[in-house]
Amino acid sequence: MDLTLTAETGRHAGSRSSSRLRAEGKVPGVVYGLGRDSVAVTVPWSDLRRALTTEAGMNALIDLDVDGQRDLAIVKDLQRHPVKRTVLHVDFLRVDPDAPVAVDVPIVLTGEASKVEGRRGIVDQPLKTLAVKAKPADIPTQLEAAVDDLDIGTSITVADIALPAGVTTDVDPETQVVLGVSTRFTVQLDHGVADADLEVEGAGGGEAAEAETASEADAE
């Protein structure tokens, strides 16, 4: 889905000017790429937010109009305030519709990790996005990792992720995306401790700690 976004040029550099623009509901930014000079621009925050809240997210294809010249672009970087999380600056990258572009695509977990949950383990996802290359029209909205067969001590790697036609990655295929991790409850279950015993242990932990604290206080 292509989106049209009109950008204004001629903004003044400096933090004071940028703050004034943000107060007016605009976001300062820059447009670069395709071997042409970078251009400082300003875009309405409402229009930018609308472009970024589509299914494609940060990888949305934007028909960017800069002083009447239209280019296909994507948002390459979005700088946010560390506390307020408001958008401070946006970088647009001009892209060639017929040439691959490097982007990060979200990895979404599908299915139920029943084997891990049954052993009271944890599903850990160290890799939440995958760096891929694809022509703009071929950029996927998301990639999926099915966790149905995941177990404690096993993992899903980049090699297990199915890439759509026209999409490639340079990431090491052995890089772990998802893994089943054991907890102390897993160890106890594997040694024959019943669920009821685990629940009693978890419920009694606080009372035991309080009793021990009370005994220490009496001793003092």
133-146 tens-digit pLDDT: 999 999 999 999 99
Reported as half-sphere exposure (CB side, CA atoms, 13 A), residue 64 has a value of 30
Can you list the domains of the chain with their CATH numbers? 2-95 (2.40.240.10), 103-190 (2.170.120.20)
Whole-number Å distance between alpha carbons of 32 and 90: 11
Helices (H), 92-183: 114-118
**Span of 47-51, 59-63, 119-123, 203-207 with lowest mean pLDDT:** 203-207
Q: Find residue 70's DSSP bridge partners.
A: 65
The pLDDT assigned to 15 comes to 63
- Positive or negative, the CA dihedral 47, 52, 56, 62 is positive
Q: What pLDDT is attached to residue 80?
A: 87
Amino acid identity of 88?
L
- Greater confidence (100 vs 53) lies with 100
On the question of pLDDT at 200 being above 90, the answer is no
pTM for this prediction: 0.76
The residue among 130 and 54 whose pLDDT is bigger is 130
**Beta strands of the chain (E only): which ranges?**
2-9, 26-33, 36-44, 61-66, 69-80, 87-94, 101-110, 122-124, 129-134, 143-146, 155-157, 176-181
Q: Which of 20-24, 41-45, 167-171 has the lowest mean pLDDT?
A: 20-24
Q: At a CB cut-off of 8 Å and minimum separation 6, what does 52 contact?
A: 58, 60, 75, 78
Let me know if 212 is exposed, middle or buried by CB neighbors in 10 A (0-12, 13-18, 19+): exposed
